[in-house]
C-alpha cells in the first residue's frame, strides 16, 4: 500500500486525506497544533461559544460531493438549513437593507429601499449565474496549470466571457455599469473581500460570486461552522486516516527530484506522496529551504488580513441577523488605506456574525455572541495600541448605528489579529488567502496545485489554485487527488 503524508489539517488538508484514503493510500496527517481545522476553530468563554474563523457557509454541494465520492452521506454528519436572507446591511445614514434569498421578498425590499434598481439587481444575478456556469465553474473545479483544461468544450464555451472587456475591468467598474444606487454598488463591491481583494482592482469576473451566495443560497450548519471540520475529521477517521497532532514538520528531505521524507522532531518519516496544506510560500521557506522561490511567491501582492473581536454581549439585538455588515462611508478610501497605504482604515467596514441567532446554546439567555471583523493590511507587527485604536473606531461606529453605547455591554472579549493568524496557521504576514486577486491575470498567477520540481509534491488550501474560501479549498483537494 502506498503511503501519503499531508502537512496541515485545515479544511483542504482534511479533504485531501479523505480522498487519498479512499484511493487506497495509507494516509498520515501531521499538524503542528493540538487539534484539526486550521482557521475553522472554536472556543468557549464565560458561557459563550465562538467560531474563530470563516463564518459564511455556501456551496454545500461540494461537501455533499466529497462525502458521496467516498461512499458516505454528508447529511449523516451535518444538518444544515438554508437561510431566508444572506446578510443585513447598515449604512451611515441609517439606511438598512436585507438581502433576501426569496426573489419575491427581494423584489419588495429592493422596491422599498432602492426603487430605481429592482430590475437591475435581478438582471445582475442572472448574469452572475451565467458567468459562473459558463466560465467560473471550469476554473474553480479544474487546474489552470495543465493544458488539458483549456482543450475542452467547456473552455471554448468560456472564451467569450474571458475576453469580455467588462470582465477584465475592475469589479467596481462593472458594478457601476449595471447598478444606479451607490449603496447597491457598495454591496456588490463587497464580494471582492471574499478572497481578500479590493473591488477597485480585482477583475469583473468576480461578479460571479453573488450567484453562489444569492442564487444558490447561504446556509447555516447546526453546531456552527466548526461542525463542518468535525464532520471531515470523523469521516477521515472512518477511512483510517492517522492524525499526528502537536507534530510540526520541520523540513522535507529531497532525493532525485522527489520528496523522500518529512522531518518531525528530528525524525524522518518516509512516504510516496506528499501534500502541503501549509501556506505555499512558507512551504518553500520552511520545509524546502528554497529562499529563491519563497521570495518569488512573497513578491506577489498579499490579500488583506483581519482583526476579529469576539465579544460576549449583555443584550439581545432584535434588529441584527446572523450576518450583518456596517459599511464605511467612503469605501474607496478604506481600500486605499488597506492596500496602498498599508494602514488600518479610519472608517472601517464592520462585519458582525451572531451564531446564537440560530444556535441558541452559543450564548446565555438574554445575551449574544458577536464575531466582529474588520479588514486590515496583511502584516503581523501591529502594536497593542493600534489594535486598541481600531477597537475604539469599531465601538464608535457600531454604537452610533445601533443607537446604544456598546462598550458597557461587553461581558467578555478575545482578540484575533494578523500576528496570531500568522503564528496559529502559518499564514505568511497573516494574509488570509495568500496572493491577492487584484489583477486580470491573478488567477493564473496563483501557485499551481503541483510542484514542477518535485514529482511527488502537491499543494492544497487557500494560498494555491483555485483560491481562498471553504468551497475553493475543497476543490483544491479534489483537483490534486483526481490528477494522481
By residue count, the chain amounts to: 484
Determine what percent of the chain is predicted with pLDDT higher than 70. 95
Confidence at residue 439, expressed as pLDDT on a 0 to 100 scale = 81
Q: Which of 114-123, 151-160, 389-398, 463-472 has the lowest mean pLDDT?
A: 151-160
Q: In what order do the strands lie in the sheet with 26-30?
A: 242-244, 26-30, 3-7, 273-276, 457-459
Residues 217, 212, 110, CA angle at the centre, nearest 5°? 65
E strands present in 246-377? 249-255, 258-264, 267-270, 273-276, 305-313, 323-326, 350-353, 368-376
Confidence at residue 103, expressed as pLDDT on a 0 to 100 scale = 93
| 157 Cβ neighbours under 8 A, 6+ residues apart | 134, 135
Q: Is the pLDDT of residue 151 over 70?
A: no
H or E element that contains 18: helix 11-22
Interatomic CA distance for residues 1 and 176, integer angstroms = 56
Confidence at residue 208, expressed as pLDDT on a 0 to 100 scale = 92
| Residue 125 · residue 215 · CB < 8 Å | yes
Q: Is the pLDDT of residue 165 over 70?
A: no
Q: Which residue has the cell 452521506?
A: 73
Structural domains in the chain plus CATH codes: 3-39+225-301+429-483 (3.50.50.60), 122-215 (1.10.405)
Confidence at residue 139, expressed as pLDDT on a 0 to 100 scale = 75
Q: What is the pLDDT of residues 203-256, one digit of tens each?
A: 999 999 999 999 999 999 999 999 999 999 999 999 999 999 999 999 999 999
| Residue 238 · residue 72 · CB < 8 Å | yes
Confidence bin at 192 (pLDDT 50/70/90): very high
Confidence at residue 196, expressed as pLDDT on a 0 to 100 scale = 94
Transcribe 344-359 into DSSP letters: --SS--EEEE-GGGT-
The dihedrals phi and psi of 44, each to the nearest 5 degrees, come to -120, 140
Amino acid at each position: 500500500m502506498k503511503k501519503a503524508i499531508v502537512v496541515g489539517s485545515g479544511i483542504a488538508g482534511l479533504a485531501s486525506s479523505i480522498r487519498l484514503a479512499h484511493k487506497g493510500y495509507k494516509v498520515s496527517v501531521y499538524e503542528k497544533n493540538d487539534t484539526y481545522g486550521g482557521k475553522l476553530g472554536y472556543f468557549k468563554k464565560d458561557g459563550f461559544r465562538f467560531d474563530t474563523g470563516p463564518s459564511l457557509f455556501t456551496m454545500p454541494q461540494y461537501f455533499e460531493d466529497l462525502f458521496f465520492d467516498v461512499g458516505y452521506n454528508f447529511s449523516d454528519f451535518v444538518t444544515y438549513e438554508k437561510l431566508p436572507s444572506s446578510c443585513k446591511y447598515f449604512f451611515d445614514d441609517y439606511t438598512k437593507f436585507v438581502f433576501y434569498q426569496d426573489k419575491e421578498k427581494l423584489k419588495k425590499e429592493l422596491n422599498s429601499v432602492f426603487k430605481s434598481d429592482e430590475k437591475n439587481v435581478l438582471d445582475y444575478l442572472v448574469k452572475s449565474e451565467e458567468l459562473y456556469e459558463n466560465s467560473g465553474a471550469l476554473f474553480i473545479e479544474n487546474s489552470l496549470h495543465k493544458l488539458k483544461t483549456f482543450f475542452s468544450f467547456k473552455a471554448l464555451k468560456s472564451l467569450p466571457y474571458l475576453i469580455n472587456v467588462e470582465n477584465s475591468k475592475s469589479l467596481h467598474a462593472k458594478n457601476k455599469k449595471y447598478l444606479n444606487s451607490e449603496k447597491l454598488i457598495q454591496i456588490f463591491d463587497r464580494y471582492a473581500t471574499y478572497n481578500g481583494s479590493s473591488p477597485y482592482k480585482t477583475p469583473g469576473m468576480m461578479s460571479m460570486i453573488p450567484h453562489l451566495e444569492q442564487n444558490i443560497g447561504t446556509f447555516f450548519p447546526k453546531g456552527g461552522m466548526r461542525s463542518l471540520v468535525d464532520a471531515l475529521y470523523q469521516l477521515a477517521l472512518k477511512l483510517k486516516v492517522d492524525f499526528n497532532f502537536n507534530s510540526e514538520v520541520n523540513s522535507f528531505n529531497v532525493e532525485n527530484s522527489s520528496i523522500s521524507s518529512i522531518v518531525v522532531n528530528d525524525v524522518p518519516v518516509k512516504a510516496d506522496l506528499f501534500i502541503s496544506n501549509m501556506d505555499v510560500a512558507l512551504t518553500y521557506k520552511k520545509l524546502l529551504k528554497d529562499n529563491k522561490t519563497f521570495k518569488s511567491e512573497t513578491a506577489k501582492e498579499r490579500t488583506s488580513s483581519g482583526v476579529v473581536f469576539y465579544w460576549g454581549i449583555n443584550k439581545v439585538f432584535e434588529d441584527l441577523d446572523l450576518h450583518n455588515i456596517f459599511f464605511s462611508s467612503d469605501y474607496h478610501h478604506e481600500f486605499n488605506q488597506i492596500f496602498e497605504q498599508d494602514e488600518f482604515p479610519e472608517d472601517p467596514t464592520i462585519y458582525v456574525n451572531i451564531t446564537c441567532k440560530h444556535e441558541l446554546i452559543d450564548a446565555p439567555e438574554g445575551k449574544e455572541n458577536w464575531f466582529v471583523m474588520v479588514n486590515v493590511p496583511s502584516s503581523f507587527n501591529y502594536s497593542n495600541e493600534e489594535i486598541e485604536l481600531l477597537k475604539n473606531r469599531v465601538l464608535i461606529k457600531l454604537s452610533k448605528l445601533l443607537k446604544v453605547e456598546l462598550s458597557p455591554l461587553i461581558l467578555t472579549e478575545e482578540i484575533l489579529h494578523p500576528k496570531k493568524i500568522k503564528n496559529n496557521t502559518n499564514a505568511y504576514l497573516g494574509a488570509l488567502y495568500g496572493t491577492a486577486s487584484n489583477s486580470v491575470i491573478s488567477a493564473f498567477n496563483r501557485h499551481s496545485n503541483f510542484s514542477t520540481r518535485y514529482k511527488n509534491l502537491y499543494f492544497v488550501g487557500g494560498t494555491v489554485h483555485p483560491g481562498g474560501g471553504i468551497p475553493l479549498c475543497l476543490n483544491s483537494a479534489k483537483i490534486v487527488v483526481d490528477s494522481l
